[in-house]
Structure 1
Amino acid sequence: MDKLGLIAGNGRFPFLLLDAARAHGLQVVVAAIKEETDPEIDARAAADPNIHVHWLSLGELSRLIETFQAEGVTRAVMAGQVKHKQIFSSIRPDWRLAKLLLNLRTRSTDMLLGAVAKVLGDEGIELISSTAYLEPLLAQPGVLTSRAPSDEEFKDIAYGRTVAQAIAAYDLGQTVVIAAQACVAVEAMEGTDATIERAGALFQTLGDGGQTTLSRSLTVVKVAKPNQDMRFDVPVIGLATIETMRNAGATCLAIEAGRTLMFDPAAIIAAADAADIAILAK
């Protein structure tokens, strides 16, 4: 039986990829990150002898390589977020990761994960696209919800894409929040949901009771990077994104068709419709 290595971050992404790989008849060797991966992964392994889970710390790059080599893994995939801020936390890198970090020009996501991918490749482990086996979950082009964006929301989308593509080119983040063609929040290390929450909190403080020159609705624009490496950091939205938007007062979401993963598209669209949130994929 062919094997696939799975480097599992947080959230549901690793579980979706795990299920898809097993549906393709693959044995999956999971490198579960102690600081990130949901412990539920152990229950999956207990119920399926073709899932092998190995727990390791985020800083243990050498152990990751040794684990995959011992299991005979030659292809691997990254699935699930690993918070970028963890790089600056108290996690202690092993000698291999420390050397990698020391040689980086910058510690941007692409630079860091690209370097990890090269190290894996040098050791005979090819890192493949994180959308492998999940193509049906890539957003299809068009208006995905019952409600299309309003004229004002379309203006915010157009402006937001310009801003988002500019920051994504610098590998700063992939999401911006816009109102009345003004940028309210830009994503950095905190992640998409925290960016939306920050925008909502900011808007609640404007105008001392709600009076403001800006529209009271927010448009969220999420893009892929100009040269998006589909092996890692692919844009993702899930039910939590819609719930966060609803709580923040956001009414529209724009994503990139074919380059954004939607976890449980039917449930996402149903939740957006219930909250009167428009979703456009283009």
Structure 2
Amino acid sequence: MSKLGLIAGNGRFPFLLLDAARAHGLTVVVAAIKEETDQEINARATADPDIHVHWLSLGELSKLIETFQAEGVSRAVMAGQVKHKQIFSSIRPDWRLAKLLLNLRTRSTDVLLGAVAKVLGDEGIELISSTQFLEPLLAKPGVLTRRTPDEQEQKDIAYGRTVARAIAGYDLGQTVVIAAQACVAVEAMEGTDATIERAGALFRTLDAEDAVRTDGQQDTTLRRALTVVKVAKPNQDMRFDVPVIGVRTIQTMKSAGATCLAIEVARTLIFDPDGVVAAADEAGIAIIADPA
């Protein structure tokens, strides 16, 4: 039986990939990252002899290579987020990762993961795109929800795409939050959900300030509704850092007061599409997928 290596980060992404690979009849060798991967992966391995789990630290690049080579893995995928801020944490890199980091011109996501992919390739392990197994989850074109974005949201989407593509081109993040064609929040290391939460917190502060005004007038400079725009990078490497949304994204938007989500067709993975649409419809959130 052919083997696939799975470098598993956090969240549900690794489990979706694991299920898809097993459905293709592949034995899956999981490199579970101690700082990130859900312990549930052990239960999956206990229940299925064709899932082999090896735990390693985020800094152990040599151990990752040795594990895959010992298992006979020649193809691997990355699935699940590894928080970018971990680069600056107390995790100690092994000699191979330390050498890689020392030679990087920057430590942006694309540069770092691209360098890791090259090291793996040099060792006979080809890093492939997870979308090869999850193509049905890629966003289809059009409005995905009952509600269509209104005129104001359409304007925010158009402006947000311009801003989001600009920051994505610098490998800073892939998400912006817009209101009344003004940029409220830009994603950096904190991730999409934290960016949306920050935007919601800012608007709650504005609402609180309005509540204590003494002149009876409310400041309506910004409409109290947020539009979230998520894009792929201009030269998105689908082997890693693929844009992803899920039910949690919708829940975070609802809590923040966001009413619209714009994503890119065929370059955004939607985990649990039915659940996402149901949650969005219940919250009155519009979701639209447009071409890149």
Structure-to-structure mapping, 1:36-115, within 5 angstroms? 36-115=36-115
CA deviation profile, 1:159-188 (whole Å, cap 9, x unmatched): 000000000000000000000000000000
The separation in 2 between residues aligned to 1:130 and 1:173, in whole angstroms, is 20
After superposition, the CA RMSD in angstroms is 0.6
Q: Secondary structure at the match of 1:252?
A: strand
Q: Which residue of 2 aligns with 1:29?
A: 29
CA deviation profile, 1:119-177 (whole Å, cap 9, x unmatched): 00000000000212100000000000000000000000000000000000000000000
Is 1:260 matched with 2:268?
yes
Letter of the structure 2 residue corresponding to residue 260 of structure 1: T
The separation in 2 between residues aligned to 1:271 and 1:159, in whole angstroms, is 26
Letter of the structure 2 residue corresponding to residue 175 of structure 1: T
Letter of the structure 2 residue corresponding to residue 209 of structure 1: D
Is 1:141 matched with 2:141?
yes
Q: Secondary structure at the match of 1:132?
A: helix
Q: Which residue of 2 aligns with 1:230?
A: 238
Letter of the structure 1 residue corresponding to residue 147 of structure 2: R
The separation in 2 between residues aligned to 1:91 and 1:68, in whole angstroms, is 22
Runs of 4 or more consecutive aligned structure 1 residues displaced over 2 Å after TM superposition: 209-212
Letter of the structure 1 residue corresponding to residue 165 of structure 2: Q
Shift of 1:209: 3.1
Letter of the structure 2 residue corresponding to residue 273 of structure 1: D
The separation in 2 between residues aligned to 1:132 and 1:263, in whole angstroms, is 15
The separation in 2 between residues aligned to 1:141 and 1:44, in whole angstroms, is 34
The separation in 1 between residues aligned to 2:132 and 2:92, in whole angstroms, is 31
The separation in 1 between residues aligned to 2:26 and 2:8, in whole angstroms, is 16
Aligned length: 282
CA deviation profile, 1:187-238 (whole Å, cap 9, x unmatched): 0000000000000000111151363310000000000000000000000001
Letter of the structure 2 residue corresponding to residue 6 of structure 1: L
Is 1:161 matched with 2:161?
yes
TM-score, with length taken from structure 1? 0.99
Q: Secondary structure at the match of 2:131?
A: coil
Mark the runs of 5 or more structure 1 residues left unpaired by the alignment.
Answer: none
The separation in 2 between residues aligned to 1:57 and 1:250, in whole angstroms, is 37
Q: Which residue of 2 aligns with 1:250?
A: 258
Which shows bigger deviation, 199-208 or 65-74? 199-208
The separation in 1 between residues aligned to 2:103 and 2:270, in whole angstroms, is 35
Q: Secondary structure at the match of 1:133?
A: helix
* Structure ID, larger Rg: 2
Letter of the structure 2 residue corresponding to residue 205 of structure 1: T
Is 1:270 matched with 2:270?
no
CA deviation profile, 1:27-56 (whole Å, cap 9, x unmatched): 000000000000000000000000000000
Letter of the structure 1 residue corresponding to residue 166 of structure 2: A
Q: Which residue of 1 aligns with 2:199?
A: 199
Q: Secondary structure at the match of 1:154?
A: helix
Letter of the structure 1 residue corresponding to residue 153 of structure 2: E
TM-score, with length taken from structure 2? 0.96
1:241 to 224, 241, 249: 249
